[in-house]
Every structure is written in structure tokens, then in C-alpha cells.
Amino acid sequence: MILKNWKNELKKVFPISLVVKIFLGAIILSFGIYNIHEQSSVTEGGVIGLNLLVHHWFGISVAYITPILDISCYLLGLKYLGKRFLVVSLFSTILFSGFYKFWELFPPIFPSLESHMLIAAILGGLFVGVGAGLIVSSGGSSGGDDALALVISKKFNFKISSAYLFTDISVLLLSLSYIPIGKIFFSLITVTISSYTIDYITSLGKQTAVSSIEA
């Protein structure tokens, strides 16, 4: 009886459709960060950018940095985002780290985009925006930056895109320590694209949910 109740509770938190969305989000996000951001030095802001910052400063793999920083942010945001958010986010973080470690087993798929920074900025922003957007629209986060952005959005009544841009730009300023100022311009492009893409996908998810209820 206890096992049956536990399974039912698990299905409520992790229905198949949600698990599929989180898997897809983690695959797309980790692929974009490893194959585009890390190879081109076009960075993200927020905790994703902070992961890359620590990687460049100390040479520690993003696969190891991510859980440490993310869990710290999740604990900080638990008060405002609830237990379910924490559970889904931890699941997403584990998947992201696992898939990122998987991509590290192979050489980068794309040729170097160092000489095509605008393409890298646009593609990177889209990969991060779609990947993170799928996870956020599932009720969790792909990293600590999502948790912080969602807390800021809820506490100060900001649009999600505005909250992301606030945290992103803060980290981009720190990233000037290893990224030339010319490349930061392209990073601003990528964080703007990713922020508004996440906003769009989460709004689309809400509209779909409302349509399903009305139907």
C-alpha cells in the first residue's frame, strides 16, 4: 500500500510528458553550452555564465561546478519557489551534468565559431533559450540562474526576461576578466536571445495548459 501511494505521488510530480520535456531540455541546453559557448568563448550570464567563469579561472569541469552552484541557489530560493520546484530542479541539474559529461567524451561537433561570433551568439542563445525554456515550463529550472531569476520575478513582479537580463548582465561584467570586451558584446546578444526565448516558451506552456483545462 505504501509503495503504491509512493508511486502515485511520484507520477504526480513526474508525469511522463514532464520527464520527456526535462530530458529534451537538458540535452539541448548541455549540447549548446558545450559545443557553442565553451568553444567560442561567447558566454551566458547568470549561474551558467558563472560556471564557465569558474571553469576558465580554475580549470574545473562545468559538470562538477554546476551541481555545487545550483544547489546553493536552490536552497536560497526554496522559500519562494516551493518543494516541488526544488525536486524538479535537482532532477534537471543531475540530467544536465550527466549530458554535459557525455558531450565532453567527444570532440566538439561544430567547427570553431571564433571567427563567426554573431552566428555563435545567435545559435548559443537559441540553444540555451529552448533548452532552459523547456525545463522552466516544466516547473523546475535548468540551473541556479533560473532559480534566481524566478525568485526575482516573483518577489519584485518582474517579467521573467527582465529578471534573467539582470542576473546575466551582472555575470557578464565579471566575465570581462577572461573575455575581451568585443566578445562581451556578442554575449549580450546571446543572453538577450536566450532570455526572451525562455519567456516565450514559458508563456506558450501556460497558454497550452489553459487551453487543455478549457477543453
pLDDT in tens, 8-29: 555 666 688 888 999 999 999 9
pLDDT at site 173: 84
First to last CA, the chain: 34
CA dist 32 and 52 (Å) reads: 13
Mean pLDDT for the chain overall: 81
pLDDT at site 214: 41
pTM of the full structure: 0.78
pLDDT at site 212: 36
Cβ count within 10 A of residue 81: 21
pLDDT at site 209: 43
pLDDT at site 44: 65
The grid cell for 31 is 549540447
Residues 6+ apart with CB under 8 A from 12: none
Q: Which residues of the chain have pLDDT under 50?
A: 2-3, 208-215
